[in-house]
Structure 1
Amino acid sequence: MHRRALVATLALPTLLSRGAAAQASRAATLRVVPETLTTIFDPHFTTSFTTRDVAYLVYDTLFAVNDRWEPKPQMVERWTESPDGRDWTFTLREGLAFHDGSPVTAEDCTASIRRWGARDSLGAFLIAATESLEPVDARSFRLRLSRPFGLVLQALAKPGAMVPMIMPKRLAETPPARPVTEPMGSGPYRFVASEYRAGDRIVFARNEAYRPRPEPSVWASGGKRPTFERIEFIALPDVSSQVSGLSTGEVDYLERVPADVLPVLERNCAVRAQVVSPFGYQGILRFNHTQAPFDDVRVRRAVMLAVKQSDYLAAVSGRAEFARDCRSMYGCGTPYETNAGMPAATDFTTAQAELRASGADLSKPVSILHPADAPGIAALGLVSQDLLTRLGFTVDMQTMDLNTFFGRRARPEGWHIFHTTNTVPDMQTPLQNAYLNGAGARGFVGWPASEAVEAGRSAFAAAADEPARKSAAEQVHRAAAEAGFYMPLGQFVAPSAWRAELNDVPTGPAMFLWNIRRGG
């Protein structure tokens, strides 16, 4: 063991006993080590996985999906739909309350939906098709569509970032371009502001007033029971410290375990390692379409042609059974999987020739945003650094932390490429996949512009049946791939690990932490 890792391991018990954590009994506290810690707690503002996971504890949703992707009511008690699909009325369950004790009202819901729709790709299509969205009374609101939109419930049940979480109206009225800084919802846990330490820990306390649904919990749907008094998200960036902490019982749950330490955990009978998200992740190489040389489609397509997915997958998955080549922007194994428009195979020699033919000035540095504290993303960046260098680019690797990364990539100047991973369920349709937004400067980071993509996404939203949706989805994929929106880097799963005395650990496309029991 390296000296640095040894020092971190020896310091672990002191680190975990800081602050008010000692006030709660160890058995009643679930200590979780997420891949990274976010400083943004607004579920409508960022696609950060940790923000999403925090949101699932603090907030609740009107609908949620089960493991068959069926939207199920969550905060909603009942709803009606007109025969033409244009008029919807939703009624909330009785007794729903925010963490400050105020009741959840229809006004809170309509304000939250509007704010989410101003930020989210799928939400934007719902809002664009909306003629009116207004409260009927304290517990009911009405949605009137101006044109066909066949995905109303699917939008309100969207499981991945950005999730349509419900917050108080006063918070939902925060301008969409500014993050909400007071995390307060009606979910099973309360954010404990007095114990929050940026970059160190996030603490949640059980919401004693929370009323779980009576149905069994399946993915994000059903009864979310806050079985622990406290949940603590703890920053332990050193993998050796994570493994040591889990082995000794100082921590309970590791969100993402590198494959090279799996053998150590698998030999430990006090620990269980398992893949909880069977669809896994897609690696993404995203171009900045506003900056030369990647404002030229020929340059983007040349880089795409040079990508060898197996190189990236080896860096992030570690085991062959955890990875698969996949060139579909929707992910493989999903209903709309297609390779339309993608390079059929890697051809490095032709890629070099196409770069020369483009006339791009490769002597000017291209900047890669490199969040070193996010191991999965950082590994992808290192592979691209080597690839671009071999192609003849001058590469400027700009190292930063993840929260700085999210801020930097939101500005069009100062970078050329970033990498990320996204859960495959968040990529599986033209409307859910934020990276398929073709609205240019009004769109998602990277800002590709394509009338063909936007027309196809509109056709998908208005489609009356599944064959029409499949046709529109293929149209979008072909146009986006040919325009070089981004390059998929393959599909992979990542195991989590937890103490063996934990039972009923949920599975699903996010890190769900309700209903977990310690012991029999």
Structure 2
Amino acid sequence: MLRRTLLAAPLGVPALLSTAARAQSPGRAGTLRVVPETLTTILDPHFTTSFTARDFSYLVFDTLFAVDDQWRPRPQMVERWERSGNGLEWRFTLREGLVFHDGAPVTAEDCVASLRRWGARDALGGQLLRATATLEPVDSATFRLVLREPFGLVLEALAKPGAMVPMIMPKRLAETPATRPVTEPIGSGPYRFVAEEYRPGDRIVLARHAGYRPRPEPSVWASGAKHPRFERIELIAMPDVSSQVSALSTGEVDYLERLPADVLPILERNRQVKVQVVSPFGYQGILRFNHLQAPFDNVQVRRAVMLAVNQADYLPGVAGRAEYGRECRSFYGCGTPYETAAGMPAAPDFEGARRLLAESGADLSKPIVILHPADAPGIAALGLVTQDLLTRLGFTVDLQSMDLNTFFGRRARPEGWHIFHTTNTVPDMQTPLQNVYLNGAGPGPAGFAGWPKDEAVERLRAAFAAAGSEEERKRLAGEIHARAAEAGFYMPLGQFVAASAWRAELTGVPTGPAMFLWNIARGGR
């Protein structure tokens, strides 16, 4: 039987709009101009862990469930759901009136196809699908999920807030092979993609989706009512920070996603600007090894570099202010339910690292290629510190600069690099299944860039998914952490928050683990 379960001085500002674009605009008051940290060129929510792609996708697509600020899954596109007494069968019924941007109604077939595509690429989604016997439509509004084995995180998986988010797209797009990105972003979210104004690498234009029906509940993080209060949103590429500050100060743009701390005093003195940290958990810096390439196919070499890392050297470059950063050696992030440092070096030991390198017998004369996305300041700062660290350890280092989108393409290939750095939002890392960098499947479509292979970690992650109690999940999370740390999956580089800034006349700016742009209004609009 099924039962209901609840679970400073202005600088020259670049011309942002062409004459043609201004002519098409609904007016400055009705347009929200946003400068993301970087502008994504990947428009597929299931294809990359990039949080710039995720933030774009949150505007265009919607989700079946979403978490609130207590990490509780809340229904979003779903109206009601039922779960069998043994927890193996689930039925989900969609809200009435959900419509894609092309005018087609959202159906259960679209949801099933989208979940299958998401599960082919996402770590947590893959765990869910591997535990699933049947995922099929029941009728146009209802679909059924039947598990072949217990999986204790069904709603948590469907509500996960970080990349890759299980967003829903039309079936015809969801049937695009998982190895190829969808290039026609059509969802049912509060804004629709304006293809004729898209300029890759320069701007993305979105228009209000007139057919969007917000939920009645208050908005909390990605859950609840998402009101598209602006007629138009423009996501604008502006890599130069001084240009960003000038454009915000003069009102040419409205919102800056992420700013280095050294420019914050300029904006904090400006009464027409508000500066605020919108994501309380922030980010974790990551040093990722390529486990398929020598010398980092040797666990002793990986552990030696981990032992040499002093997080205090990395944090100033990404946090800027002492109060914005903290040392944290937990793969799950600090302040999260599963926080632990099991298996990690207790403290940096440079001389101990040099001895371990000598014992490894690794050839340090061959260049170590570090992929360096120079246009992403929050990541680039990490690479410069590692370049110095490896050089002092005796490595020959080749720091290869590129733009962020090239970086994502390069790191997906197993050859041609040894180390990359990135930052990931802590909510994306808080469990062994959500943290994609704890994937131990090795090379192949089931693995993730860096490709550590550890069958024990994969068995433990499966056990975590099936665990029936929080006590058991915490025990398993600790074992996974210890095993992955000792195997040198990657090295955390500290935890930090970053400030956003926006024009003071904006109201209703959401907080949460991503850049949410719904519910924002200009003054009394």
1:21 deviation in Å?
3.7
Q: Once the two structures are superposed, what CA deviation does each residue of 1:386-445 show, in whole Å capped at 9, x if it has no partner?
A: 000000000001110000000000000000000000000000000000000000113110
Counterpart CA distance in 1 for 2:122 and 2:22 is 36
User: For residue 229 of structure 1, what is the aligned residue in structure 2?
Assistant: 231
The structure 2 residue matched to 1:87, chosen from 69, 86, 89, is 89
Say if 2:19 is the partner of 1:15.
no
User: For residue 501 of structure 1, what is the aligned residue in structure 2?
Assistant: 505
1:456 deviation in Å?
1.1
The structure 1 residue matched to 2:286, chosen from 279, 284, 291, is 284
Say if 2:218 is the partner of 1:211.
no
State the identity %.
77
1:10 deviation in Å?
2.1
User: For residue 401 of structure 1, what is the aligned residue in structure 2?
Assistant: 403
User: For residue 367 of structure 1, what is the aligned residue in structure 2?
Assistant: 369
User: For residue 384 of structure 1, what is the aligned residue in structure 2?
Assistant: 386
Q: Which amino acid aligns with 1:82?
A: S
SS across alignment from 1:505: coil
Query: Which stretch shifts more, 309-318 or 20-29?
Result: 20-29
What does residue range 47-446 of structure 1 map to in structure 2 within 5 Å?
47-442=49-444, 443-446=447-450
Verify the 8 A CA contact 1:19 1:195 in the aligned structure 2. Answer: no
Counterpart CA distance in 1 for 2:389 and 2:426 is 25
Counterpart CA distance in 2 for 1:312 and 1:58 is 35
SS across alignment from 1:283: strand
Verify the 8 A CA contact 1:215 1:223 in the aligned structure 2. Answer: yes
TM-score (norm 1): 0.98
Q: Once the two structures are superposed, what CA deviation does each residue of 1:98-137 show, in whole Å capped at 9, x if it has no partner?
A: 0000000000000000000000000000000000000000
Q: Once the two structures are superposed, what CA deviation does each residue of 1:235-290 show, in whole Å capped at 9, x if it has no partner?
A: 11111110000000000000001100000000000000000000000000000000
Structure 1 residue ranges, 4+ long, deviating more than 3 angstroms after superposition: 16-19
1:11 deviation in Å?
4.5
Q: Once the two structures are superposed, what CA deviation does each residue of 1:459-493 show, in whole Å capped at 9, x if it has no partner?
A: 10010001100011011100000000000000000
User: For residue 475 of structure 2, what is the aligned residue in structure 1?
Assistant: 471
Counterpart CA distance in 2 for 1:206 and 1:24 is 11
Verify the 8 A CA contact 1:16 1:250 in the aligned structure 2. Answer: no
Q: Which amino acid aligns with 2:245?
A: V
1:455 deviation in Å?
1.3
Counterpart CA distance in 2 for 1:181 and 1:163 is 17
How large is the Cα RMSD of the aligned pairs? 1.1
Q: Which amino acid aligns with 1:403?
A: N
Counterpart CA distance in 1 for 2:226 and 2:174 is 24
Say if 2:481 is the partner of 1:480.
no
1:192 deviation in Å?
0.4
Instruction: Give the unaligned 5+ runs of structure 2.
Output: 1-7
SS across alignment from 2:427: helix
1:24 deviation in Å?
2.0
Q: Which amino acid aligns with 1:318?
A: G
Counterpart CA distance in 1 for 2:398 and 2:242 is 30
1:18 deviation in Å?
5.1
User: For residue 511 of structure 1, what is the aligned residue in structure 2?
Assistant: 515
Counterpart CA distance in 1 for 2:277 and 2:462 is 35
Verify the 8 A CA contact 2:307 2:349 in the aligned structure 1. Answer: yes
1:17 deviation in Å?
4.7
Q: Once the two structures are superposed, what CA deviation does each residue of 1:51-83 show, in whole Å capped at 9, x if it has no partner?
A: 101110000000000000000000000000001
Verify the 8 A CA contact 2:13 2:246 in the aligned structure 1. Answer: no
User: For residue 41 of structure 1, what is the aligned residue in structure 2?
Assistant: 43
Counterpart CA distance in 1 for 2:19 and 2:156 is 42
Counterpart CA distance in 1 for 2:392 and 2:129 is 45
User: For residue 460 of structure 2, what is the aligned residue in structure 1?
Assistant: 456
SS across alignment from 1:484: coil
Counterpart CA distance in 1 for 2:358 and 2:448 is 30
TM-score (norm 2): 0.97
